[in-house]
Amino acid sequence: MPNTATSSGAGAPAGEGGRARPQALPILASSDRGPRASGPLARPATPRPPSPAAAAAGGYQLALQQLTDSALPTGAFAHSLGFETYIERGLVHDEASFGVWLSAFVGQQLTYSDGVAIRFLFEGADVGELDSLLSAQLLPRQLREASVKMGGRLLEIGDEVFPSPELAVYRELVTTGRAAGHQPLAFAVVARSLGVPLPEALAAYLFAAVTSLTQNAVRAIPLGQNAGQRLLRKASDDVAAAVERIGRLAPDDFGAVSPGLEISQMRHERQRARMFMS
């Protein structure tokens, strides 16, 4: 889909294509005018093909943003995935201590379980088989239930907003009880059907998980909003490292757990006062 001629910088979110110039948005809106758009920022001289960013925006970029937006109603706000246990023990109590937990979570859980599952799906592994691997590997009950709960919502939303034959197959497995419907797989099926390249899909998924966990920590600890933003910026290094590592892992690595994270997720089942379901 031809779009604005003003975007530059491959990979930049389309909405920021105009580099913070206020005129960017109106130009984005007038996409029907094509690359020769005569807005104030367009270069009139020679016609040129859409920039990579513009092409991506027309392809999967905006869809991917919608899919990973923290406003996507999957219920992520209700899950700490174990960090609430650390809060209760007094070990996570401020920006720095949550940062340590978040870094461990990205480097372990999100890398070896969610990330590897997404990669294998992109590489053609059977979704039903991956689904049963995840169900078997997520040993803490609340963690398994969280993955299935958020996965179920993602499957529903995906069915309405990003339907595809692959998604229909996975939904069918879930509705007939042959698969549980895990969040990373629901995401991966949709992202793959949208043509998102694997590294981008991984980075987007991991960063979305990090974002909702950080937002939850901001409410629960509590932290200031700016502290949350600082944490996210720092976590982006962990996300980049995780994407790189996920690409190098072998099938034997799938589901490798950290005992500490796992025990804390298990103990959350018995925590008396809690804000989160996991």
Partner 1 sequence: MSQNSSAVISPWAASAEEGGRARFAVPATPRPPSSATADRPVRGRLELGIKVPNGKSIASTQFHQGALRILRPHYLDESGQVCYVMVNPGGAYLGADLYVIDVEVGDGAKLLLTTQSATKIYRTPGSFAEQRMTLRLGEGAQLELAPDQLIAYREASYRQNTLITLTPSSSLVMAEVITPGWSPDGASFRYEELRLRTEIHVEAGGGTELLALDNLLIRPSLNDVTGMGFMEGRSHLGSLVVVDSRVDQALADELHALSAGHDAYTGVSLTASLGGTTGLVLRSLSDSTEELNRLLGACTALLRGQWYGQAPLDLRKY
Q: Which residues bind to partner 1, rule: CB under 8 A?
A: 86, 91, 97, 100-101, 103-105, 107-108, 112, 119-120, 123-126, 129, 132-133, 135-137, 139-142, 144, 180, 198-199, 244, 246-267, 269-270
The two tokens of residue 58 are 């027309």
Chain centroid, CA 145 distance in Å: 18
Alpha helices in 2-82 (DSSP H): 24-29, 52-56, 62-68
Min. distance of Cβ 146 from partner 1 in angstroms? 13
Task: Rank residues 72 and 146 by Cβ distance to partner 1 and give the closer one.
Answer: 146
CA distances from 21 to 7, 27, 36, 37, 92 (A): 11, 11, 19, 16, 40
Min. distance of Cβ 145 from partner 1 in angstroms? 10
CB atoms within 10 A of CB 271: 14
Chain centroid, CA 80 distance in Å: 15
CB atoms within 10 A of CB 176: 8
Min. distance of Cβ 137 from partner 1 in angstroms? 4
Min. distance of Cβ 67 from partner 1 in angstroms? 21
Task: Rank residues 72 and 119 by Cβ distance to partner 1 and give the closer one.
Answer: 119
The two tokens of residue 250 are 């072998």
Task: Rank residues 32 and 252 by Cβ distance to partner 1 and give the closer one.
Answer: 252
Task: Rank residues 10 and 136 by Cβ distance to partner 1 and give the closer one.
Answer: 136
